[in-house]
Chains A and B, each alone.
Chain A
Amino acid sequence: MNIEILFYLFAAVTVFAALRVITARNPLHAVLFLVLAFVSSAGIWLLLEAEFLAIALVLVYVGAVMVLFLFVVMMLDINIEQLRVGFLRWLPLGLLLAGLIGVQMVWVLGAKETSAGMTAVQHAADYSNTKELGRQIYTDYVYPFELAAVLLLVAMVAAIALTLRKRRDTKRQHIGTQLKATKQDRLRIVSVPSGHKSDAAPAAADSDVHAAD
């Protein structure tokens, strides 16, 4: 009973936050509502005893991806009014897409095979969701998993290849050459005779001290 209340609480927060993502006037608020949506869906996954997925969602999406989102949104100068121009023109297409997604979801989630699995299987406290997930990924689903990894790698390489450019005018530090430098290359100790005859002895002692450094 308690679990059900929690589910409806998380679900309501998720739906509210998702709606605010597209209705918020300030883009930064929209990003923060997206964070809220992620966190509350992580809560729903926790209720399904999928703790690895739930925490990974928070760790990867909330902790890393959304931080970079915030980063970018803060630096952009977005005029929200300009973005709303032509809202009515695109409304029919948007509604069509939303309807399509809705039909697909009802189709998949309403099917007998999946809805039977919707009631979470109860496990003992020492059951490790993470271990089980790892076993599945690296045995039954190893090829799809490796394919997904290769896909991500290609995307990464492509992103770097697209943005990396050699610039001749930038100054950069070469740590290797810096470390190779020795005192003999950089420092030359000169003994400067003092003008006064009487000061000659202390000055010589002074230069000795510098050499010892």
Chain B
Amino acid sequence: MMEAQALHLIESLLSFFGLWEMLRGFIEPVWPAVWIVLKIVAIIVPLMLGVAYYTLAERKVLGFMQVRPGPNRVGWWGLMQPIADGVKLLCKEVIVPTGANKFLFIAAPALALAPALAAWAVIPFDDGLILADVNAGLLYLLAMTSLGVYGIIIAGWASNSKYAFLGSLRSAAQIVSYELAMGFALVCVLLAAQSMNLGEIVRGQQGAYGMFGWYWIPLFPMFVVYFIAGVAETNRAPFDMAEGESEIVAGFHVEYSGMGFALFFLAEYANMILIAALTSVMFMGGWLNPFHGWPLLGALTDGIPGLIWMLGKMFIFMFMFLWLRATFPRYRYDQLMRLGWKVFIPLTLVWVVVVAAWMQTPYWLW
């Protein structure tokens, strides 16, 4: 429907200049492809802006939590800081270390960023507001998030540096371990929703009592495990052993400068926003109104568009990332592995059985 409207808009715009009849033959055959590209742009541009301002938000939030102002020199309240940082990184020289594998060294940042962006194809922002409404959306997401590790490993190896290599090995082991717990947590969601389509998962959480119909109640342990595993997957504090600046300088990206470094940065923040979006979609009812069906509050808030709810929920989880970073000291590597393998994986395995059994009883209310 929106597609036809957009085409109509372009038609009226071009016929205003008298160009429509001339260009019609060129536009109409390629229109479906153009429409998809437009939708991709509509996701990527806000995402990249979000990443830019998420970095500023991080520095501001960390600043306030540590009782200092944070960046406040570039622009009003420091608001131009991300732009200044971007320009600086663009202008910096890209240095390729001697003995580095040049092709892989340059390809690695792109390999890190591409899956982080590709995963956004199946995220529903509102009912029907989704780029690719595929049935196997959940599987696709797992596949895409598991590909991100290649960028990190290849970067570490291609740099031909010991710090970078150590960082990439740490990160690879960490991501592979936490992927299992994450996968099992998603199996619980899959069981509860009986669908792998992310839109269906949100619709499955629709109920008469707003936020009490969402999956965070029956799947509460999985919700916690998923978010913590998500923090570990994105190599964020307190699980940032891959960077570990006090031990291995900056880990896998120690040899990168300029845009190479910037791409890793973009990938990391895009992944954090992705985890926030996924946690909202799978456990927090996505675009649904948390107060739906409540007396008074429900009637007052039902008019708010779903996109606003979705973004609001994402902001809460994005803030949690920063909060965790400001609050917790870094884990030791053996503690990290213990948490992943000996705590999360047994817990998720048990909960899969619990949910499967629970769903056979009449006490399953979701």
Which chain A residues have a beta carbon within 8 Å of chain B's beta carbons? 28, 32, 35, 51-52, 55-56, 58-59, 62-64, 67-68, 70-71, 74-75, 126, 128-130, 173, 175
Contacts and interface: CB of A to CB of B under 8 A. Distances in A.
Contact of B147 (A63, A68, A70, A175): A63
B146 A63 contact: yes
Given A28-B157, A70-B172, A71-B172, A51 B146 contact: no
B143 interface: yes
B48 interface: no
A63 B136 CA distance: 17
A58 B135 contact: no
A195 B335 CA distance: 45
Contact of A74 (B136, B150, B157, B173): B157
Interface in B147-183: 147, 149-150, 153-154, 157, 165, 169, 172-173, 175-176, 179
B349 interface: no
Nearest to A39: B147
Given A71-B172, A173-B334, A52 B139 contact: yes
B142 interface: yes
Contacts of A71: 153, 169, 172-173
Interface string B244-280: 0000000000000000000000000000000000000
A129 B143 CA distance: 17
A129 B135 contact: yes
Nearest to B134: A51
- For the complex, would chain B's binding face be called helix, strand, loop or mixed by DSSP majority? helix
B334 to A, nearest CB: 7
Most buried by B among A28, A63, A68, A71: A63
B284 interface: no
A51 B153 contact: no
Contacts of B142: 55, 59, 63
A62 B65 CA distance: 40
Given A56-B139, A130-B136, A175-B338, A70 B153 contact: yes
Nearest to A35: B150
Interface string B113-145: 000000000000000000000111001101100
B179 A64 contact: yes
B157 A67 contact: no
Nearest to B147: A63
B176 A52 contact: no
Contacts of B318: none
Contacts of B179: 63-64
26 contacts: A28-B104, A55-B136, A55-B140, A55-B142, A55-B143, A58-B143, A58-B147, A59-B143, A59-B146, A62-B143, A62-B146, A62-B147, A63-B146, A64-B146, A70-B154, A70-B157, A70-B172, A71-B172, A71-B173, A74-B157, A74-B165, A74-B169, A129-B135, A130-B196, A173-B335, A175-B338
Contacts of A63: 142-143, 146-147, 149, 179
A55 B121 CA distance: 15
Nearest to B165: A74
Interface string B75-104: 000000000000000000000000000001
A58 B118 CA distance: 14
A23 B25 CA distance: 48
B157 to A, nearest CB: 5
Contacts of A56: 139
B176 A68 contact: yes
Contacts of B149: 63, 67
B338 A67 contact: no
B92 to A, nearest CB: 28
A115 to B, nearest CB: 28
A80 to B, nearest CB: 15
A126 B199 CA distance: 13
Given A67-B176, A71-B169, 8 more contacts: A28-B157, A35-B150, A51-B134, A52-B139, A59-B146, A63-B142, A68-B176, A130-B136
Most buried by B among A32, A58, A67, A173: A67
Contacts of B139: 51-52, 55-56, 59, 130
A35 B115 CA distance: 15
A165 B169 CA distance: 23
Contacts of B157: 28, 70, 74
Contacts of B104: 28, 32
A81 to B, nearest CB: 19
A64 B145 CA distance: 11
A58 B142 CA distance: 9
Nearest to B133: A125
B15 to A, nearest CB: 31
A55 B139 CA distance: 7
The 5 closest A-B pairs by CB, nearest first: A63-B146, A59-B143, A55-B139, A58-B143, A51-B136
Contact of B135 (A51, A64, A74, A75): A51
